[in-house]
Amino acid sequence: MWPTIHTRSIGAGTVVVALASCQASAGGEPFDPGTLAIAVDMPEPLVKGRNRMFLEVASAEGTPIVADTIEMELYMPAHGHGSTETPQLTPVEGPGYLAEPVTFQMSGAWEITITAVSGDEFGVEVIDVEIE
Ligand SMILES: [Cu+2]
């Protein structure tokens, strides 16, 4: 398995990655996580309001890569809504990405979905979090 990434200094000179358009998940279809691996380093605990996270994407062989596109989507299943803000994913050395603002405007259960695409490969990571 891929080790958890640790907080490190963030490089200057940032470029905002173009976010791919949201893809509505079709109900009933089997979940396909793809072949790319996505690791997320997030603060503990997460707070209500703005958070920041670090992401790393790796090929199926485990080599860290810069994805063609990467997006993070926040969703609160109990209420059927997303975040009030769109996380900006900024490439940092590693390679990896700084995600901010990761905004949970309400307490409760949230679902974080990260989708990365590189060439004809993709990866999807879904993480359930609880905001106090
Ligand atoms: Cu809500």
Tokens, residue 82: 């997303």
Q: Are strands 81-82 and 64-65 parallel, antiparallel or unpaired?
A: unpaired
Cα gap 53→44, rounded to integer Å: 11
Determine the pLDDT at residue 1.
Answer: 42
**Spacing, Cα 54 to ligand 1 middle (Å):** 24
Going from the N-terminus, what domains does the chain have, and what CATH number goes with each? 37-131 (2.60.40.10)
Please give the distance, rounded to the nearest whole angstrom, from the Cα atom of residue 17 to the centre of ligand 1.
Answer: 27
* pLDDT the model gives residue 54: 97
Q: What's the average model confidence in pLDDT over 105-115?
A: 98
**How far is the centre of ligand 1, averaged over its atoms, from the C-alpha of 104 (Å)?**
9
Give the Å distance between the CA of 49 and the centre of ligand 1. Answer: 12
Q: How far is the CA of 35 from the centre of ligand 1 (A)?
A: 32
Assigned token pair, 125: 């990571």
- Distance, in Å, from the CA atom of 101 to the CA atom of 103, rounded to the nearest integer, reads 6
Centre of ligand 1 from the C-alpha of residue 83, in Å? 9
Residue-wise pLDDT tens digits, 54-94: 999 999 999 999 999 999 999 999 999 999 999 999 999 98
12-56: pLDDT as tens digits:
333 333 333 334 455 677 889 999 999 999 999 999 999 999 999
CA distance 36 to 43: 23
Per-residue model confidence (pLDDT) at position 11: 37
Interval between CA 76 and ligand 1 midpoint (Å): 6
**Measured in angstroms, how far is the CA atom of residue 10 from the centroid of ligand 1?**
31
Task: Please tell me the total number of residues recorded for the chain in this structure.
Answer: 132
- Tell me how far apart the alpha carbons of residues 67 and 83 are, in angstroms, rounded to a whole number: 23
